[in-house]
Structure 1
Amino acid sequence: MDRLLGLLSIHVQKGVNLAARDIRSSDPYIIFRIGEQTLKTGVIKKNINPVWDEVVTIAVFEPLPIKMEVYDKDTFSRDDEMGDAEFDIKPFIEALKMQFNDLPDETIISTVKPTRTNCLSEESNITWSKGKVIQNMVLRLRNVVSGEIEIQLEWINVPGSKGL
């Protein structure tokens, strides 16, 4: 617990225009990796525009980039790769360290712009919303013809952890 900064809640909202890996569709799921941790979403059957609406929670010991890999679940063969992305949580963690006492709801604290080195397909706002700092991201998948994944980050402080 002395190294734990807190927990990062990743709300996996949906995928848009994912690559078809089966005849006309795919059965996508996502694996998130940070350090030694690996978390996986459920599989959405026969859908290239899946809605997960699922939350995965990762323990953060240091603000490393998070790797995201999308796969097509296959029953009788190895799962097919459907692309990957990586996102940096440092801007989000820096925003968390600021003081927000009397900010109006939905105030944009910071904006992360898409670059050649990040996987953002559009600007990502870090926002003060309902008493919490959140970040919405649309991530363009790499190593694939098409596909984006929409996620939302939220921080969970853990009593007894090192904290930010």
Structure 2
Amino acid sequence: MMADPARLRCMPKKARSYLGRLASASEQLFRGEGIEQFAAICYRKAGDNAVEVLLVTSRDSGRWIIPKGWPIGKLAPHQVAEREAWEEAGVKGKAKKRPFGFYTYIKTRADGERVPSVVQVHLLKAGKIEEKFPEEKQRNSLWLPPLEAAVLVREPELKGLLRRVAKTVVKPPKA
């Protein structure tokens, strides 16, 4: 399905630029040259009908992202998400086995090569939050309402996933 040109003109310039870069990588994805990563949207309750999600900074650019990483040996994707949440933010919790969704972005490797990445995202309910964790000196973290977090991330599909979190994890009050 083609995007409506009028709708694209209404999008912020940054979003159009990002989508343009992603579109140019679609050939790589179709040839199977993309990479796969696993991520966690960590959340915690913030009152009766409110929730907060966790963002961390990337080590390279300092942009706001969610904890994510590469496949690990015999670990299932949701287990990788749990490990990344611990290593990058000190969050211990239980991730859902079923993916919450997916997003794509362009990963710049250490050698400068740009390759598309498809990220499988799992919801992770934060249990314990440790002050000492493997990457504590390399990253900053921030707990925010999902809509505020969505404003800070770059990837349009990740923005959409963050916007869905509250509807998914907050149970409506009983009438």
TM-score (norm 2): 0.24
Greater strand content: 1
